[in-house]
Structure 1
Amino acid sequence: MAKFNVSLKARLILEDRGRILLLKQTKPNGGNYSLVGGTIERKEYAVESLIRESFEEAGIELTPADLTLVHVLHKRYKKAHRIVLYFRAHHYEGEPESRERKKFENVEWHPYGDLPPNLTSTVRHVLKAYSRGRLYSEMEK
């Protein structure tokens, strides 16, 4: 059987009054809008990884009780697979701000009905599946 790489990531769908929090990437990093989150490190579980990433990237403080798993994306590349766990939260502490200025120039709230055109294709795919109540989706890259 052929071996392949698998990476695990966790992302945050932070909602507030019909809006979602998005990170605006710097131009060298694509210049698109994405979600808070990142790679689950070897000694972490998904929830603790997302809590760490949320604080590191956006200054948001979350607890495990704030997070609910709402979607799983299986993304397949030519030589690798990526599993991304999407957690929703409505409650958080702190004022969202970009804390990794080399990667993200801004943190912005956007209404679901008026998402930016340069939202990453992956986030657009996931939000569409999530809005339809689908817990799982697949995507080829």
Structure 2
Amino acid sequence: MTSAPSAVSTAAPLTCGSTRPQAQAVLAPALNVTEVFDSLAVLVNVMEASKTGELSTLWKFTDNGETACRCSNGTLIYYPDPKDTTAELTLIFSRTNLPAVLNANGSLPKNVRHHGEPGVLKRLLALLHKPEPARFAIVTP
């Protein structure tokens, strides 16, 4: 089986550095890894990311396998089950700790092991837009 880049889906955004952690605490565990990375991909600030060189990370989930993530040319692409595992930063942790890693503002939680430059995560998360709350009334029947 070859690793092909995953296409971005219409998954609801997972906010990083949210001011509403209670909403994230409910949403993040409900998403699978693919949906989380889809959500991150739609949040990339293309103008800022295109000015940045390539950022490469390898996410080793101790309970789910691996996902490689590359951000280059303003696009975030991830590879489930990657063949090329070279990266500037390798993160090793359980899937349940993913929300903590994404909300850590670049400093890694104590239960996350890593190899490489931890500043890569901070630079990657800094390229993500902060989602705005909906600005329309919800129509109810």
TM-score by length of 1: 0.27
Q: Which structure has more helix as a fraction of its residues?
A: 2
TM-score by length of 2: 0.27
